[in-house]
Amino acid sequence: MRILDPFTGVELKRLIGLGIALLFVVSSALGDTKPAELKVIARPMPNLKDKKFDLTGAPKDLASVPVPSPPDLAKYVRNKDAATLLGKALFWDMQVGGDGRTSCATCHYHSGTDVRPRNTISPHGPGIPTSPGFRGANYLLKLNDFPFRKLADVFNAKSTVNRDRSEVVGAQGVIKRDFIAIVEGNAVDKGVTIPDAVFNIGGVNSRQVTGRNSPTMINAVFNDRQFWDGRANRYFNGVNPFGDTDPNARVWRANGAIAEKVSILIDNGSLASQASGPPNNDVEMSWNGRSFPQLGRKMLSLKPLALQKVAASDSVLGPYASSSGKGLTESITYASLIRDAFAPEWWQATGAVDGEYTHMEANFSLFWGLAIQLYEATLVSGETPYDKFAQGDTKAISDIAKQGLEIFLNQGKCINCHGGPEFAGGTISDLRPLNNPDQKELIERMVMGNGATAVYDNGFYNIGVRPTKEDLAVGADGPFGPFSYSRRRQLGQDIGDPEPVGPKDHIAVHGSFKTPTLRNIELTGPYFHNGGQKSLKEVMEFYTRGGDFAKVNMDDLDPDIGVINELVGNQARINAVIEFMKTLTDPRVKYSRAPFDHPELIIPNGHTGVANGVALDADVVIPAVGATGGEKLKTFEQVLLDGRPN
């Protein structure tokens, strides 16, 4: 809920942080006033037994939030169970990649994220043409590589900078090649290698790495938009991530034997919008130039999950696991699943589409997006200790965790961005609640770090992780215009929020990233969009000192970013907040229990070397896991210790 100051019209929860923001401005101007001077003496936590904690405003349990769904889903999907089965198979199927070895899950296999330590550095984010000091392809990350910006005093952003790297810990995709053709019945596409000046080992192409860290898709169904920059639109247009901004997106609907082009916009479809991006991206999953109809033709010719074991007890795929040991039974094909899952008008036309494709091939992007959305919509982790606590079990979390929650809600102001039962920003329940369609808060006004009022995209914040110019995030332009709701509204576009934005209003969206969920946060490192922190301890130190580039980013800086005096030098209090955050881990996620179980996955953890002009993958097998789960997932720190993901 947004509460405005009656005199200024500014959101009150943002005014709370204004004092700290102005203090930062004054101290910066004086030059010789340092946050370090505000340090408190490190001391142990007091005895917390019988302490009364101020937990006013603590979020409810996740079950209190309805799981969003497209209101007109029945127009497209006639059997949700079949669509969910299709979505899980497609999400985990390695045959989707141009190399026949890369699936969506390859970058989202570990609590919905990627923790591979080798060959996962990109030299820079989207806004930097070059990056000095890039450590090169196939580098193995180590504990002492973090944080990427290392200060002499972790509680003083003005202290000596011992190290500062603009590199990004991303996810490794495919080798750089141009697409030539698919080969029906073969998982590997035809392509020609294009020399890669960045990702290579001695001149031999290695796997490319994305320019941002992989966000989790667990609980992503609650987000209004997807990706760090929000480019995956709330409306799914059936074709690509850009929703209602793409005026040319069309799918095919049967009119008798003929398929006709039609425009569709499926609301609450951001997961489908997101899913439509990576499959043909020439860094993530495909050779450059492959289209969705071509991918559809390939997948329709292949046995689902043919290269991977499927547990007989898999909560979705198990009943259809092949007795041969890999893939699904012969009676299950991608074509049969599409026919079972989707209304016939979207696949039954018999005439050639565009003179080349079947109706089913031509609409493969539509089936792909909606099926994966329905699968991901089942990945809701609402069985955490905190959820039990929010439901009334006062003993579900420790007193130290309660102390951490109190700091989270009050002194730390963490709740201002990581709000609601989702512990995230940019959620549907905050921006446009399903049970209150008249409430629209897609864009808001707030006083920025520099003291000026600006319009911003609710749930997207510049917190000073890196200089704004390195990555404009939601402030950037896509192929059809701005990603930002605020910038679109300023251009006069209908974004679903009537808030007026004048031509002279300051838009504070540059360098602003979507606030990720804190649920399962102990398992989703490395942290921030650049993956520059390895641990929750480093994250807490970052926030305690008021960020790393607050002064540089002041025009767009979130006003809640400032020195947290109550935490400076007080590791016990910092540990309490970390203890609280760990109560947001769902044990079903930690042990890969249903619905978080999955087929076998073979992932490349960098390369073992080069032979005959080819970079050889260092494969790691992630075993198939059934409904009862498997081994406990490691934290990113634990992965760094042994150099191998699980």
**Residue 244: is its pLDDT beyond 60?**
yes
**Which DSSP state fits 241?**
T
Tokens linked to 67: 């799981």
Residues 6+ apart with CB under 8 A from 46: none
For residue 595, whether the previous peptide bond is cis, meaning omega lies within 30 degrees of 0, is yes
Q: What is the mean pLDDT of residues 54-63?
A: 97
Determine contact, residues 544/463, Cβ cutoff 8 Å.
no
Q: Which long-range contacts (CB under 8 A, 24 or more apart) does 197-205 make?
A: 198/123, 198/134, 198/137, 199/137, 199/175, 200/137, 201/137, 201/138, 201/607, 201/609, 201/610, 201/615, 202/610, 204/610, 204/613, 204/614, 204/615, 205/175, 205/176, 205/177, 205/615
Q: Give the residue from 584, 578, 587, 583 showing the smallest Cα distance to 637.
A: 578
Q: For residue 168, what are the CA distances in angstroms to 27, 77, 89, 475?
A: 31, 39, 30, 19
> CB under 8 Å, gap of 24 or more: what pairs does 20-23 form?
20/546, 20/559, 20/560, 20/562, 20/563, 21/447, 21/448, 21/449, 21/450, 21/451, 21/557, 21/559, 21/560, 21/561, 21/562, 22/451, 23/562, 23/563
Q: Give the dihedral sign, CA 224/230/233/238.
A: negative
Question: Rounded distance, CA 42 to CA 449, Å?
Answer: 29
pLDDT in tens, 25-51: 334 433 433 333 334 334 444 556 657
Q: How far apart are CA 230 and CA 224, in angstroms?
A: 9
DSSP code at position 164? E
Specify whether the CB–CB gap between 293 and 352 falls below 8 A: no
Cα–chain-centroid distance for residue 280?
A: 18
What pairs with residue 456 in β-bridges? 444
Cα separation, 602 vs 589, whole angstroms: 20
CA distance 595 to 316: 8
pLDDT tens-digit map of 604-637: 999 999 999 999 999 999 999 999 999 999 999 9
Give the residue from 512, 440, 420, 502 showing the smallest Cα distance to 470: 512
Pick the range with the lowest mean pLDDT from 17-26, 194-203, 207-216, 431-440. Answer: 17-26
Rounded CA separation 247/480 (Å): 8
Q: Residue 451's pLDDT is what? A: 86
The pLDDT value given to residue 38: 37
Phi-psi region of 343 (alpha: psi -120 to 50; beta: other; left: phi over 0): beta
The residue whose two tokens read 């198979």 is: 89
Q: Answer yes or no: is pLDDT of 250 > 90.
A: yes
CATH number of 12-66+383-588: 1.10.760.10
Tokens of 225: 């938009």
3-state secondary structure 427-494: EHHHHCCCCCCCCCCCEEEEECCCCCEEEEECCEEECCCCCHHHCCECCCEECCEECCHHHHHHCCCC
Within 10 angstroms of residue 258's Cβ, the number of other Cβ atoms is: 14
Q: What is the pLDDT of residue 10?
A: 41
- 42-56, 277-291, 471-485, range with the lowest pLDDT: 42-56
Residue 213 DSSP class: P
What is the Cα–Cα distance from 427 to 419, expressed in whole angstroms?
9
Helices (H), 61-146: 80-92
Side chain identity at residue 559, one-letter code = P
- Confidence (pLDDT) at 49: 60
Q: What is the mean pLDDT of residues 300-304?
A: 98
Query: So what's the pLDDT on residue 131?
Result: 62
Mean pLDDT of 77-101: 98
Instruction: Cite the beta strand spans of 247-335 per DSSP E.
Output: 251-255, 258-262
Distance (Å, rounded) from C-alpha 8 to C-alpha 348?
58
Kindly indicate the confidence band of residue 298, based on its pLDDT and cuts at 50, 70 and 90: very high
In the chain, domain spans: 12-66+383-588, 78-105+220-379+595-642
Question: For position 52, what pLDDT does the model report?
Answer: 87
Mean pLDDT over 512-521 rounds to 98
Closest to 635 (Cα-Cα) out of 537, 521, 538, 519: 521
Amino acid letter for position 7: F
pLDDT tens per residue, range 367-422: 999 999 999 999 999 999 999 999 999 999 999 999 999 999 999 999 999 999 99
Is the Cβ–Cβ distance between 430 and 459 less than 8 Å? yes
The mean pLDDT value for 285-307 works out to 98
* pLDDT of the residue at 235: 98
Kindly report the three-state secondary structure assignment for every residue of 569-627.
CCHHHHHHHHHHHHCCCCHHHHCCCCCCCECCEEEEEEEEEEECCEEEEEEEEECCECC
